[in-house]
């Protein structure tokens, strides 16, 4: 569930992009009256700016809801929100979609760096810190899985830029949701299959 919540801004980005042509003119006018940029109702080229605005708002809401519920900030959600503010804000203010297209690459490289740093900071790699309480795997398995996550994040970061610069904007939007989400699900499933033999089941008391 937490995984899907963290992908919610991306899902809403996709929905807003696809449905922009159906947004009523008064709604677009209201946005223009409150934001420092202009949108044209029904203009396909402006869909990415509306989608970016929606993603920024809902990314901020996920951070706020988590804080109100747990009295703490979720690191992944907070990093995502900050990057949406930086790259999404630049996209809207400069009217250039290049910035928002770079955001998935930057966030994946940040996560790759965090997983890499965890091999030197603390006594456990990050993959083990996430799953170690339920899975009793040897140290070398955790190290390999941690390295696999690093490679995965770098590959996705590279794919994002390649697609952003070599395919249409709509194709990139589709990849941003279905491609990245699908790759992440597939990668997690492979890891769970590898770790399944090490899952520890606590006896009932």
pLDDT digits (tens, 9 = 90+) for 94-120: 999 999 999 999 999 999 999 999 888
pLDDT tens digit string along 52-97? 999 999 999 999 998 999 889 888 889 889 999 999 999 999 999 9
pLDDT grade, residue 204 (50/70/90)? very low
Q: Rounded to an integer, what distance in angstroms lies between the CA atom of residue 46 and that of residue 38?
A: 9
Q: What angle do CA 166, 169, 172 make, to 5 degrees?
A: 75
Write down the pLDDT at residue 2. 61
Q: How far is CA 180 from CA 29, 72, 110, in A?
A: 33, 27, 16
With 0-12 / 13-18 / 19 or more C-beta atoms within 10 angstroms meaning exposed / middle / buried, residue 79 is middle
Write down the pLDDT at residue 133. 59
What pTM was estimated for this model as a whole?
0.84
Closest CA to 149 of 170, 168, 177, 130: 130
Q: Rounded to an integer, what distance in angstroms lies between the CA atom of residue 9 and that of residue 6?
A: 7
């Amino acid at each position: 569930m937490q995984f899907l919540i963290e992908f919610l801004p991306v899902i809403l980005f996709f929905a807003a992009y696809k449905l922009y042509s159906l947004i009523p003119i008064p709604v677009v006018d209201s946005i223009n009256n409150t934001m420092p940029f202009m949108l044209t109702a029904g203009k396909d080229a402006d869909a990415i700016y509306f989608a970016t605005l929606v993603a920024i708002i809902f990314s901020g809401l996920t951070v706020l809801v988590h804080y109100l519920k747990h009295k703490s900030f979720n690191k992944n959600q907070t990093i995502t929100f900050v990057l949406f503010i930086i790259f999404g804000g630049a996209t809207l203010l400069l009217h250039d979609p290049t910035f928002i297209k770079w955001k998935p690459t930057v966030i994946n490289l940040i996560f790759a760096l965090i997983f890499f740093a965890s091999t030197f900071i603390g006594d456990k790699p990050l993959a083990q810190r996430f799953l170690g309480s339920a899975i009793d795997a040897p140290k070398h398995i955790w190290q390999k899985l941690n390295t696999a996550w690093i490679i995965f994040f770098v590959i996705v970061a590279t794919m994002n830029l390649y697609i952003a610069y070599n395919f249409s904007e709509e194709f990139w939007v589709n990849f941003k949701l279905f491609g990245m989400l699908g790759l992440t699900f597939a990668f997690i499933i492979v890891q769970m299959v590898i770790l399944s033999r090490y899952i520890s089941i606590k006896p009932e008391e």
